[in-house]
Amino acid sequence: MSRYLKSWNENAVITAKMRIAIISKATTNPNAKQVCQEINNEIAPVSYSTVLKVIKAAGIDLTEAASERMKRLHADPEFAARIAAAASERMKRLHADPEFAARQAAAARKSLKRLHTNPEFAARHATAVRERLKLLHADPEFAAANRERMKRMRSDPDLAARQAAAASERMKRLHADPEFEARRIAGIRNSKRRRKRGR
């Protein structure tokens, strides 16, 4: 379509016949793109934006119809597989870009920090992690693979040194917390009292 014809279509006053045809077609098939194609093929040239204006003015809701159409499409395994493959390829391309990957990682860290400041979320997350680990360790194959992995890790002096340093730093941070220190001292005192009672 030439730019002159397109301009004419955008500004032209459509006929009553065309308006009725648009509304009639949109009522049975609330898909503005398809309606526009049919009007162009059957009646006269008309732009998509004009068709959209007529449909909206008639009070025909395209949103619900579009939602239903997408539900039907996604219920088709072939369509769903094509969409998933396209999305996967797009994400691969994006994550191959170091700048995008860095932005994503920074946003994820920020989001997790916000979430973990919520006591309810933190408690749910901790419970879910514990349950997941219980399930994993209950699997003999996973447990055996995990033991082998830990043996290999412990035999690496560099890793062992890093782990020891990380544990030391963590304990320093914990002992610098007055609440933790108070709980620790209270625990030691309770333990001593229980031992005395047991004698």
CA–CA separation, 58 vs 64, rounded Å? 15
How much is the mean pLDDT over the chain? 84
Residue 124 lies in a domain: no
Domain count, the chain: 2
Please state the pTM of the whole predicted model: 0.33
Report if residue 196 sits inside a domain: yes
> Virtual CA dihedral for 71, 73, 77, 83, nearest 10 degrees?
-100
Query: CA-CA distance, 184 to 90, in Å (whole number)?
Result: 51
123-164 pLDDT, tens digit per residue, is 898 899 999 999 998 999 998 998 898 888 878 888 888 888
Per the structure, the complete domain to which residue 190 belongs is given by 156-199
pLDDT of 59-117, one tens digit each?
A: 887 777 777 778 888 888 898 889 889 999 998 998 889 999 899 989 999 998 888 88
Asked whether residue 26 is domain-assigned, the answer is yes
Chain segment 10-33, per-residue pLDDT in tens: 444 678 888 888 988 888 887 888
141 within a domain of the structure (yes/no): no
150 is a domain residue: no
Decide if 22 is inside a domain: yes
Q: SS3 for 18?
A: helix
Amino acid at 130: R
Q: Which of 13, 36, 60 is the last residue of a domain?
A: 60
pLDDT at 4: 34
- Could you say which of 39, 60, 81 is where a domain stops? 60
8 A C-beta contact, residue 10 and residue 50:
yes
pLDDT band at 6 (very low <50, low <70, confident <90, very high): very low
